[in-house]
Structure 1
C-alpha cells in the first residue's frame, strides 16, 4: 500500500507527514538519524491493519518539513513538536486515543513529550535509545567509543563536509556499523540520501547533536555524573525496544530502562537485530508493538 501525504501545522512548523490507515486510534511515529519518515513503512502497515491511523512526520529540520524558525533542535523542542502534533491531529479528527512511537531521535522526542504531557498519550513505544541515555552514558564508559560520531559532529565545517562527501556515503557507513549484517533495500538508502541532499537537512540534523552535547558537558562540569535516582520519571506506560547487536547504543544501557517509568514499562531486546530493528526484524517488532498497544 502506498502512503498518503498530509501537511500538519503545529508548534510553528508545517510538518510534511506520511499517513496510512483510517482507524479510530492515532499512532504518531517519529524518526531519527540518519533516516526519515519512510523508516516506519513496515510498521505503519501493521498498525493500520490493527485499527490505527498512522502519521509519520518528517522531523523538524528534515525536508520537506523544513528548518526550525528559531533554530531550536533541543530535546525540549522535539518533545513539544510531538505534543503539538498529537493535539492538532486529535482536534481535527477526534481519535479514541493517541500513542507515540519513536526511533532514535524520535525516541528522545517521545520521552520528552511523555514527561511534558503525560495525559496526552495513552502509551509510548521507543526504539534504540534508553530513557536516560544522557545520564546512563556516564555509567557505561564503552558507550563513549560507540558514540564517536556524536563528538565528531561537534566540529563545525568538518562534520558537514564529511557527511556530504561522496554523495552522503557516511549514511551507509553508519547503517552498516549500527546494524551489522542488515541487508537493507537500496531504494530505502536512496530515499534517505535524497532527504539529506535537500537544503538545510544537513545543518539541522547536526544541530540535534550539537544542542544535545552542550548541556551534557555543562552538567558534567557543574555537578559530576548525574544521579539516576534524581531524574524525572515517565508516567505513561511504555514499551522500550533495544537491538541485541546495536553498534550505536549498546543493549547494556537498557538494563534499567524500566526504572525511568512511574507507569508500567516493558523492555524488549530484539535478537539478531541492530539499531534499525524495526526494519531489520519488522515481523518481530511489529508483533511486540501491536501486542503492547492492544493490551
Structure 2
C-alpha cells in the first residue's frame, strides 16, 4: 500500500512541478529523481529513511508525469536531456536550494548528471543509476551491437507514427511490458506497477516521451531556449562531484559491462557498484544499496555542508 504523502507544487518558468516532501524543512536537501517509465514510488523505501535521519527529501514528478503540468501552452513539450536538467535547476532555484545531494536513474539520472557536470557548485554529491547518463547525441546515428539494438526496440518504435499511436492507445500495457523486460528478476514488480501506472495518464506524457526518444537520435529539433545547454554537452563534460554509480547486473535495457567504461567521465571521487539480481529500476529494487551509497557520500561531504550552514 502506498504511504500517505503530502503533495506539493512549485511554479518554475516552464512547469508547475509536483513533488513529494519528507523530513524537516530545515534539513540538508536530498533530491531523488525517477526515470521512464517510473515515478516517485521508486523511492518509497528510501525517502522516509533519509527523512528520519534529518534530511529534507524532495521527490519531484518529471515533466509529463503525474500531476506535473506545463506552465504555459507555448512551452514546447520537449523530453530532451537539456529540458530535464533545466527542470531540475529551475526546481532548485524556485525553492531557494543552494545545493543538494542528488540521486537519479534513467531520465532522472540524466538530469542529475548534467547538473552535476555543468553546475557542480549546486551538487553536494551524486548517486547515479548506470553511471554517466549524459547522451552523446552526435554519436547516436552510429550502429551498435545487434544485441544492444534489439534492447532498444522501443526507442525505434517511438520514431514512427505507429509508435505514437501505440503509446497513446496502450501506454499502461506498453510501460508494464518494459518493467518486466528491464527488471526480469524483480519479483515484486508486477504487484507494484499499478501504484505507478496512473502517472502515465498525464496529458503531456506521450508527447514528452516521443520527443525524448526522437531528439536523442536527431530525428526531432530541440527547444531553442535549451540550445545553450545542449551545446555545452557536445563535448561530454566531466563530473567532478563525489559520485557513486549503481548498476543492475540484470538490467534488461543496459546490463552493466564487465569493464567500467564510464570511469573516465568522473574527475572526482567515484565508485561503481554492480548489484546482483537487480534490474533497471535500481532504487525500488535495491533500496538498501541506494541508501548505503547516499549515506556514504553524505557523510563524506558533511564538513562542507556544515560550513555552508554557518
Q: Does 1:49 align with 2:52?
A: yes
What is the aligned partner in structure 1 of residue 90 from structure 2? 84
Aligned length: 280
- Contact 2:104-2:110 at 8 Å conserved across structures: yes
What is the aligned partner in structure 2 of residue 269 from structure 1? 274
1-structure distance, mates of 2:88, 2:242: 17
1-structure distance, mates of 2:279, 2:193: 16
Q: Does 1:258 align with 2:263?
A: yes
Question: CA-to-partner distance for each residue in 1:70-118, whole Å, 9 max, x for gaps?
Answer: 2232211211111121222235xxx7x4111111100111111122211
2-structure distance, mates of 1:244, 1:167: 27
- Contact 1:129-1:249 at 8 Å conserved across structures: no
Structure-2 change in CA distance of 1:72 and 1:160 (3 Å): closer
Judging by fraction of residues, say which structure has more helix: 1
Among 110, 113, 126, the alignment partner of 1:111 is 113
1-structure distance, mates of 2:131, 2:143: 15
Query: How much does 1:162 deviate?
Result: 2.1
What is the aligned partner in structure 1 of residue 193 from structure 2? 189
What is the aligned partner in structure 2 of residue 149 from structure 1? 154
- Contact 1:111-1:234 at 8 Å conserved across structures: yes
Q: Indicate the SS of the match to 2:102.
A: strand
TM-score where L is the length of structure 1 = 0.84
2-structure distance, mates of 1:164, 1:51: 41
Query: How much does 1:129 deviate?
Result: 5.5
List 4+ stretches of structure 1 deviating above 3 A.
128-140, 164-167, 185-188
What is the aligned partner in structure 1 of residue 6 from structure 2? 4
Which residues in structure 2 correspond to 1:56-71 (within 5 Å)? 56-67=59-70, 69-71=75-77
What is the aligned partner in structure 1 of residue 223 from structure 2? none
- Contact 1:47-1:54 at 8 Å conserved across structures: yes
Instruction: Mark the runs of 5 or more structure 2 residues left unpaired by the alignment.
Output: 221-234, 301-310
Among 176, 183, 207, the alignment partner of 1:172 is 176
Among 27, 50, 74, the alignment partner of 2:80 is 74
Query: How much does 1:67 deviate?
Result: 3.8
2-structure distance, mates of 1:236, 1:49: 25
Which residues in structure 2 correspond to 1:212-231 (within 5 Å)? 212-214=216-218, 231=236
- Per mean C-alpha deviation after superposition, the further-off stretch among 183-192 and 196-205 is 183-192
- Contact 1:244-1:273 at 8 Å conserved across structures: yes
- Contact 2:77-2:207 at 8 Å conserved across structures: no
Q: Indicate the SS of the match to 2:77.
A: coil
Query: How much does 1:150 deviate?
Result: 1.2
CA RMSD of aligned residues (A): 2.8
Question: CA-to-partner distance for each residue in 1:254-287, whole Å, 9 max, x for gaps?
Answer: 7122211122211111111110121122222222
